């Protein structure tokens, strides 16, 4: 399994050094083992506070290591989760528009994984890439982005996912 994970990383993030790849693969395997621990020790593990609040660190990088914000890293994470959990990540999305800190990966069974990329107050020059334990039964709003001519067409009846901006005008 480690060789397969290593190959995923190597294929998608060729320019990232071998040590970072080794640590990522090792940490992802530990993440899977922690999930298996929860599953083996409590019939209702998904509902326990330890499981719900668990935030597993898979990588610590310098603030200027922009590769962890790249689409290639998101793809690497999605493919790695697919391999580790014997599923297929079919959707990826942000919690909020242009939110580069949180990414949600969803498989074909609507299980979701939340990945966060954040600095800590105690170490502002480091970015911690963390994963929450997978959660079942995700509700999805699927968006298919169209080209400008389609959206500008008066007959366009597609949907837009929007956030409330009314608070912008309250000050």
> What pLDDT, in 10s, does the model give residues 65-107?
999 999 899 999 999 999 999 999 998 887 555 556 888 899 9
**Residues comprising the chain, all counted:** 171
Query: Is it the case that residue 152 has pLDDT exceeding 90?
Result: no
Comparing 158 with 29, which gets the higher pLDDT? 29
Q: Where are the domains of the chain?
A: 2-140
What values do phi and psi take at 104, rounded to 5? -110, 130
The answer to whether 27 and 57 have CB atoms below 8 angstroms apart is: yes
pLDDT surpasses 90 at 143: no
Q: Whole-structure pTM over 0.85, yes or no?
A: no
Task: Tell me the pLDDT band of 126, cut-offs 50, 70 and 90.
Answer: very high
Contact 118, 103 (CB under 8 A): no
Distance CA 76, CA 27 (A): 14
Q: 116 near 108, Cβ under 8 Å?
A: no
Radius of gyration of the chain (CA): 18
pLDDT at 123 over 80: yes
pLDDT digits (tens, 9 = 90+) for 20-55: 999 999 999 999 999 999 999 999 999 999 999 999
In this prediction, residue 162 carries a pLDDT of 61
What does pLDDT average to over the chain?
87
């Amino acid at each position: 399994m480690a060789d397969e994970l290593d190959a995923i990383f190597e294929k998608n993030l060729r320019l990232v050094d071998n040590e970072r790849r080794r640590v990522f693969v090792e940490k992802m395997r530990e993440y899977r083992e922690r999930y298996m621990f929860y599953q083996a020790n409590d019939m209702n593990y998904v509902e326990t506070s330890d499981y719900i609040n668990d935030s597993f660190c898979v990588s610590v990088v310098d603030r200027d290591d922009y590769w962890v914000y790249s689409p290639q890293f998101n793809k690497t994470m999605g493919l790695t989760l697919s391999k580790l959990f014997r599923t297929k990540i079919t959707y990826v999305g942000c919690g909020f528009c242009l939110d580069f800190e949180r990414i949600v990966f969803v498989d074909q069974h609507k299980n979701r994984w939340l990945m966060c990329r954040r600095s800590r107050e105690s170490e502002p020059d480091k970015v911690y890439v963390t994963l929450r334990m997978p959660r079942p039964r995700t509700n999805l709003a699927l968006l298919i982005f169209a080209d400008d001519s389609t959206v500008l067409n008066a007959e366009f009846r597609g949907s837009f996912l929007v956030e409330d901006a009314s608070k912008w005008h309250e000050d």
